[in-house]
Amino acid sequence: MAFKEKIDTDKLPRHIAVIMDGNGRWAKGLGKLRIFGHQNGVKAVRATLEATIEIGVPYLTLYAFSSENWNRPKKEVQALMTLLINSLNKELDTLHKHDIRLNAIGQLDDLPANCRTTLFNAMEATRNHTKCTLTLALSYGSRKEIIHATKAIAEKVKAGTLDVEDITEEEFAKHLYTHDIPDPDLMIRTSGEYRISNYLLWQLAYCELWFTDKMWPEFEKEDLFEAVCSYQKRERRFGKTGDQTD
Ligand code: IPE
Ligand code: IPE
Ligand code: MG
């Protein structure tokens, strides 16, 4: 039986976050350039988004470019930025068709101007869509995000608009880039790597993690459904005992 048919639609994760990894190695394995892997990774993005919509998960966040990825060869960085612009332009109709709001998190000021313009235009054009929020983590680094939040809070304390006693978890989370989306319930990473790579460190505190050896361009809808099935078998205890959570 296909994984899709095994999914219990009453127990869906509200938010799935993905580390799309392995494009370069996949291409190398075929004797091609790394950029060929990135180009084929776009197909997997489409499949993942479609699968998310099909089962009705309202939040999907994709790690597309990390703050550390700026340290890659200039040619690869440029190719990734061009791919981002082209994909956004190409997929805008799909976002409208499926009622998807585009969102972005990260140090967006560091993106090239043409990239930012395309991104912000697409975000603006889709801002009233409600079925699903697709968040792209771009030039994203979780440690930088936490420092950004800390600075904003420190400024408020300095200005006298926030008391130190009122710095709670909820207050802190309001200053993160993710302030308007819930914490992820399920995090998927491809390519056989078992690490977080500076992704949503605060937000993943109680997230369920799922890993696959498949490289990102090989990722298909059924892989996402398999991850959701695995998620549904788990007992999330949030620090309590199993008896308490029954
Ligand atoms: C993921 O694939 C895409 C980005 C990080 C932009 P990689 O480019 O990291 O591919 P590998 O992990 O080197 O194979
Ligand atoms: C994480 O992948 C970032 C993205 C998927 C955008 P990396 O390939 O950059 O991570 P490391 O270097 O293997 O940890
Ligand atoms: Mg990688």
Average pLDDT, the chain: 98
Name the class of domain 17-233.
Answer: alpha beta
Residue 40 CA to ligand 1 centre (angstroms): 12
Q: Environment class of residue 129 by beta-carbon count within 10 Å: exposed (0-12), middle (13-18) or buried (19+)?
A: middle
Confidence of residue 246 (pLDDT cuts 50, 70, 90): confident
Q: pLDDT, tens digit, for every residue of 100-146?
A: 999 999 999 999 999 999 999 999 999 999 999 999 999 999 999 99
Nearest CA, atom 1, ligand 2: 197
Token pair in block for residue 152: 């904003």
Give me the amino acid identity at 219: F
The domains of the chain are located at 17-233
Q: From the CB of 24, is ligand 1 less than 6 Å away?
A: yes
**Residue 69 C-alpha to ligand 3 middle, in angstroms?**
9
Angle between helices 34-55 and 74-97 (to 10 degrees): 20
Contact of 23 with 37, CB cutoff 8 Å: yes
The residue to mutate among 19, 20, 21, having the most atoms of ligand 2 within 8 angstroms of its beta carbon, is 21
pLDDT category at 1 given cuts 50, 70, 90 is confident
Whether 214 is in the pocket of ligand 1, judged by its Cβ within 6 Å, is no
Question: What's the whole-model pTM score?
Answer: 0.98
Q: Is 18 in the pocket of ligand 2 (CB under 6 A)?
A: no
The answer, yes or no, to whether any atom of ligand 2 lies below 6 A from the CB of 195, is yes
pLDDT in tens, 18-49: 999 999 999 999 999 999 999 999 999 999 99
User: Is the C-beta atom of 44 inside 6 A of ligand 1?
Assistant: no
More confident residue, 197 or 1: 197
CA distance 6 to 208: 19
Q: What is the mean pLDDT of residues 206-230?
A: 98
Q: What is the pLDDT of residues 50-91, one digit of tens each?
A: 999 999 999 999 999 999 999 999 999 999 999 999 999 999
Pocket test for ligand 1, best of 18, 19, 20, 23 (most atoms within 8 A of CB): 23
